Amino acid sequence: MSTYLIGDIHGCYDELQSLLAQVAFDPEKDILWLTGDLVARGPASLEVLRFVRSLGDCVRMVLGNHDLHLLAVYAGISRNKPKDRITPLLEAHDADELINWLRRQPLLQIDEEKKLVMAHAGITPQWDIETAKMCAREVEAVLSSDSYPLFLNAMYGDMPNNWTPELTGLSRLRFSTNALTRMRFCFPNGQLDMIAKEAPESAPPPLKPWFTIPGPIARDYTIVFGHWASLEGRGTPEGIIALDTGCCWGGSLTLLRWEDRSLFVQPSNRERTIEE
């Protein structure tokens, strides 16, 4: 049995299949971790969702910001942007089943035996592991409930950007969602910056990539994340692994085999473009 971790798929179904074939992935005995953003920008979001759902319990995935945006579009809360290329998914005969399956997926994965943590954007250095679990489960509970459209309508926004246990209600849920699915940079005290998207070396001071700010989780766990394609899997400290290598932008889809830390790469079928 092997544990495979794959970066953001973004509707790149053909590359996903080629990458899994490289390692002879067997859903009967292997475990597949996915960093989120299964959908949008690539050509085959519908096929990706159908395939991942069909794999059943061998998949351990987290939701990304594009997955949450898809839920909001399907609920009529946000606009369907042509560049996301999700119209076939929205119009599919099994769209209801896929959307209801997707909104019941977690935002955080933890394997205590492997000391492995995965979230789409990463883990804010302001959280310890118990706080991270608590905040993720709160968002997951709302998403899987009948009141999920209320949350989706309120999740957009950059504030609050500082964690305190006194946060409540939709403000608390928004902070948790941003920290787990949108974060890139933080101020030195761990406060989130939700504006900067440039390469780490170009960020305006005093902003720092979240993974360069010491936090309690990074001391005890390996953290795996996606979301930040322009990193191209580089520049993170030991014990923090970036797996989004920009397949939908013409980069590649990357897989890490946990047991021996081997990396496998599948080049994109598309010409390279600039990440938006």
**Band (105; pLDDT cuts 50, 70, 90):** very high
pLDDT tens-digit profile of 92-104?
A: 999 999 999 999 9
Q: What's the DSSP call for residue 246?
A: B
Q: Whole-angstrom Cα distance, residue 28 to residue 215?
A: 36
pLDDT (mean) for 200-229: 96
pLDDT tens-digit profile of 233-256?
A: 999 999 999 999 999 999 999 999
Q: What's the DSSP call for residue 249?
A: G
Amino acid 270: pLDDT:
81
Token duo for residue 11:
């509707």
Q: Give backbone dihedrals phi and psi of 66, rounded to 5 degrees, phi first.
A: -75, -30
Token duo for residue 147:
């009141």
| Cα–Cα–Cα angle for 183, 228, 41, rounded to 5 degrees | 110
CA torsion through residues 119, 180, 234, 69, sign: positive
- 0.75 surpassed by pTM: yes
- Statement: residue 49 has pLDDT above 80: yes
Q: What is the dihedral of CA 96, 101, 106, 109, to 10 degrees?
A: -140
Amino acid 273: pLDDT:
73
In the chain, the percentage of residues whose pLDDT exceeds 90 is 95
**Band (275; pLDDT cuts 50, 70, 90):** low
pLDDT (mean) for 224-231: 97
Q: Whole-angstrom Cα distance, residue 227 to residue 33?
A: 15
Q: What's the DSSP call for residue 9?
A: -
Q: For residues 201 and 93, which has the higher predicted lDDT (pLDDT)?
A: 93
Distances (CA, A) of 175 to 186, 193, 212, 248: 13, 11, 20, 27
- Statement: residue 28 has pLDDT above 60: yes
Q: Whole-angstrom Cα distance, residue 98 to residue 96?
A: 6
Token duo for residue 246:
């920009």
Q: Reading across the β-sheet that carries 109-111, which strands appear in turn?
A: 109-111, 116-118, 222-225, 240-242
Amino acid 271: pLDDT:
76
Q: Can you tell me whether residue 120 is helix, strand or coil?
A: coil
Report H helices in the chain.
13-22, 45-54, 65-74, 87-90, 95-102, 129-143, 148-154, 169-181, 216-220
Q: Whole-angstrom Cα distance, residue 117 to residue 127?
A: 13
Q: Whole-angstrom Cα distance, residue 232 to residue 270?
A: 16
Domains of the chain: 3-267 (3.60.21.10)
The answer to whether residues 155 and 67 touch, using CB atoms and an 8 Å cutoff, is no
**Which amino acid, one-letter code, is at 160?**
P
Q: Can you tell me whether residue 262 is helix, strand or coil?
A: strand
Q: 148 Cβ partners below 8 Å, 6+ apart?
A: 71, 75, 103, 142
pLDDT tens-digit profile of 8-20?
A: 999 999 999 999 9
